[in-house]
Amino acid sequence: MTASSKRIHLAVYDTYADWETGHTTAHLTQRGHRIRTVGPTAEQPVTTMGGVRIQPDMALADLSPEDSSLLILTGASLWDTGDDLAPFAEKAREFLAAGVPVAAICGATAGLARAGLLDDRAHTSAAAAYLDGQPGYAGAGRYVEADAVTDGILITAGPTEPVAFAREVFALLGAYKPDVLDAWYRLFHDSDETAFPVLMAAAERGDA
C-alpha cells in the first residue's frame, strides 16, 4: 500500500469534540497510516471543545478524494448552531461520490443528514429524534439503533461510542485481522482482560 493510499484526513474545526476520534487516529497511526488534519483554512488554528489549539495541515478546499483513503468528520457544537460546517458535509458528498470512505460521529451525522447523505443509507446517531429534527432529512426509515453502523463506505456513530466508531473504521480499512479486531474491541470497550494476551500474541506475530 502506498503512502498516499494510507493517508487519513481528519476534519478539525472550532468546538471539535476531542475525545471522539482518539482511539481511531492513535491506532491507525500505529498501523502505519498517516493522519492529516483538515480545517476551514490552513492558516487559522482551531480550538477544540477541550480547549486544545490545532493548526490544520491543510485547507478543506485543497482536499481531493483521490489523495485520501478516509475522511473523518467529528462532532462539534458548530454542527448544531448554524451552517458554518456545511462545506465539510459537501466534501463528504464528494468523497462518497468518488467511492472514498467517510466516517462521521456525533454532530457530524446531523450535518450529513441535512445534506441528504443519510436518506438512502443505513445509519445511526445520538438518537433518532436528533436526526428527525434536521431540516431536509428523509432517512428515518434507514435509522438503526446501534453503537455504530457501516453501510458500504459510510460509517456513522453516536457521541458515546468512540470505541465502536474506531472498530468500524478499522474493519472497513482492514487495519486488523478479524480475530485481532475482536480482541481489540473487547479490551477497549468491555475491559475484557482475556483479550490482552490475544493482542500481545498478534503483536509478536506482526499482526498488530
Residues 20, 77 contacting (CB under 8 angstroms): no
**pLDDT for the residue 5:** 52
**Which domains, and CATH codes, for the chain?**
7-175 (3.40.50.880), 176-208 (no CATH)
% pLDDT > 70, the chain: 97
Choice among 76, 104, 106, 155 that is catalytic: 106
pLDDT at 207: 67
Sheet with strand 70-73: strands edge to edge: 58-59, 34-39, 7-11, 70-73, 102-105, 154-157, 148-151
- In Å, the largest CA–CA distance within the chain is 51
Please count the other Cβ atoms lying within 10 Å of the Cβ belonging to residue 102.
Answer: 26
- pLDDT recorded at residue 204: 84
Sorting pLDDT into bands at 50, 70 and 90, what band is 6?
Answer: confident
What value does the mean pLDDT take over residues 117-141? 97
Amino acid letter, residue 19 = W
pLDDT in tens, 41-90: 999 999 999 999 999 999 999 999 999 999 999 999 999 999 999 999 99
Verify whether residue 190 is a known catalytic residue. Answer: no
Are 41 and 104 contacting, i.e. CB atoms less than 8 angstroms apart?
Answer: no
pLDDT digits (tens, 9 = 90+) for 16-39: 999 999 999 999 999 999 999 999
